Amino acid sequence: MSRARFALIGLGLGIVLVGCQNVGIGSSGGPVGLPGLFGSMTQLATGGGRSVEVDEPEEIELGRAVTTSVGSRYKLLRDESLTRYVALVGNAVAVQSERPDLRYYFAVLDTDEVNAFAAPGGYVFITRGTLAVMRDEATLAGVLGHEVGHIALHHYNATIKKEKETALKRGFLTTVGHIGLGFVPGPGGAAASVFGSPALNLIADGIATVDLRGFSRDEEEEADRVGFRYAARAGYDPAGLRDFLKAVQDAGKQPAKSGFFTKFVSTHPGSADRLKEQETQLRTAPAGGRRAAARFQQAIAAQPTTR
């Protein structure tokens, strides 16, 4: 299976991109145990023998913080209809994931850049330029499935763990390791005055700045594999992810378009391998599956294509 990275991020936010770049998340050693088996609360052993937990409410809050960081780098496309459509497709694949009980949020970024990524807690972003590369819903399902896979498999926990350990060393956290313990309540403990958790800020920055490192090849491989599976279970032609990789590869060869793919290509040198792995996986996949090209084209009709 290809281990290439798909995602791209450029953001630097840590997150996962479809290409998944960065996010730092999987860059500093993997979590103890198998991804996807953690449940909503993951316990990770720290070097000092203490326990660092990644609780779902914390994860969601981190996702919100990272989302604001995404917003500082990209303009959010505030198109209600398109956002709803992308979210419908995203939810269709997310319900097939290992974490169907997590609330997922999907958003479109207003840039020609070809990119897609995810943040902890269920936040998934895809660029307008990425949608322009696609021709049908099956392709969108494959890409969103890959991103959801990074979230469902807890690929960002390694970075969260790493930054929590740093926070512990700096005294931002107590032995329990909850982000909130780094919080200094206002006078009388008034919660309303609580603003600014040193620990959360540190972790969010870590996720956001590990940038350009991407997930490990194993994690990319996993995300490809489960994304393929989610899309197939949702009734889509699982060839969508393969088609996207192929489209990116082909478009990147065109001088007029190559600029939009530069970041993707430079940070995902293994895309060719991933493409091969998708072909291999497809050879044993059941035939059939919908493409829903007409619905996809109608949904993005108002969107400008990559120039």
Partner 1 sequence: MRRTTVLTAAIIATAMLATAAETTRWVERTKVDIRAGRGSFYEIVDTVLKGEQVEILKTEDKWASVRTPRAKTGWVYEAALAAQPVQPGRSDFLKMAPGDASTSRTAASQGAKGVYAQGYAKEKGYDYSIVEWIESHQPTGAQIETFLADSGEAAGDRK
Q: Contact, 195 vs 201, CB < 8 A?
A: no
- The site string for partner 1 over 165-184 (x = CB under 8 A, - otherwise) reads -----------x-xxxx-x-
Contacts of 282 (CB under 8 A, 6+ apart): 238, 239, 242
Q: How far apart are CA 92 and CA 277, in angstroms?
A: 24
Instruction: For the chain, give the number of residues.
Output: 307
Q: Give least dist CB 19 to partner 1, A.
A: 20
Find the shortest distance in angstroms from Cβ 231 to partner 1: 12
Q: How far is the CB of 292 from partner 1 (least distance, A)?
A: 4
DSSP of 272-284: HHHHHHHHHHHHT
Residue 50 interacting with partner 1 (CB under 8 A): no
Among 51, 68, 254, 280, binds partner 1 (CB under 8 A): 68
What are the C-alpha distances in Å from 102 to residues 57, 84, 151, 239? Answer: 10, 18, 10, 26
| Whole-number CA gyration radius for the chain | 19
- Joined together, the tokens standing for residue 116 give 């897609």
Stretch that binds partner 1, among 52-60, 126-134, 156-164, 250-258 (CB under 8 A): 52-60
- Residues 285-304, mask of contacts with partner 1 (x by CB under 8 A): --xxxxxxxxx---------
The Cα–Cα gap between 245 and 279 comes to 11
Q: Give residue for tokens 């919908």.
A: 290
Scanning residues 70 to 99, which ones bind partner 1 (CB under 8 A)? 70-72, 76, 78, 80, 83-84, 87-88, 91-92, 94-95
Site string for partner 1, 119-138 (x = CB under 8 A): ----x-------------x-
Beta carbon of residue 146, minimum distance to partner 1 (angstroms, whole number): 19
Nearest to 223 by CA among 294, 274, 162: 274
Which one-letter amino acid corresponds to residue 70? V
Minimum gap (Å) between residue 4 Cβ and partner 1: 24
Q: Return the residue of 104, 117, 215, 228 that touches partner 1, per CB under 8 A.
A: 104
65 binds partner 1 (CB under 8 A): yes
Q: How far is the CB of 270 from partner 1 (least distance, A)?
A: 26
Show the tokens assigned to 31. Answer: 């979590």
Q: Does 247 bind partner 1 (CB under 8 A)?
A: no
Helix, strand, or coil (residue 214): coil
Which residues, in sequence order, are bridge partners of residue 281?
A: none
Q: Is 41 in the site for partner 1 (CB under 8 A)?
A: yes
Task: Report which of 148, 144, 118 is spatially closest to residue 21, judged by C-alpha positions.
Answer: 118
Q: Does 69 bind partner 1 (CB under 8 A)?
A: yes
Task: State the Cα–Cα distance between residues 52 and 54, nearest whole angstrom.
Answer: 7
Catalog residues that contact partner 1 under the rule CB under 8 A. 39-41, 55-58, 60-62, 64-65, 67-72, 76, 78, 80, 83-84, 87-88, 91-92, 94-95, 100-107, 123, 137, 176, 178-181, 183, 185, 191-192, 194-197, 200-201, 204, 235, 237, 239, 287-295
